[in-house]
Amino acid sequence: MKAKRNKMHCIIYRLRKSGGVKIDTRNRNIIYKYQQDEDKMQNKQIVRLCKEFGFARQAEI
């Protein structure tokens, strides 16, 4: 279980470092600007967070 949590934190760290998205770990939300391309939301790290760890994507207006 600890290894899985560490992988999640590594993915979150890399996404925050790259910029463009905000990640709320408590509510498990990935928040992005509405004007951004949807291609950014198809990033394999974001898709993995959604499928494997139960995160949800949310657009911010």
Cα gap 46→49, rounded to integer Å: 5
DSSP 1-61: -HHHHHHHHHHHHHHHHH-SEEEETTTTEEEEETTS-GGGGG-HHHHHHHHHH--EEEEE-
**Average pLDDT for the chain:** 85
pLDDT for 5 equals 80
Cα gap 2→19, rounded to integer Å: 26
- What mean pLDDT is predicted for residues 9-17? 92
pTM: 0.79
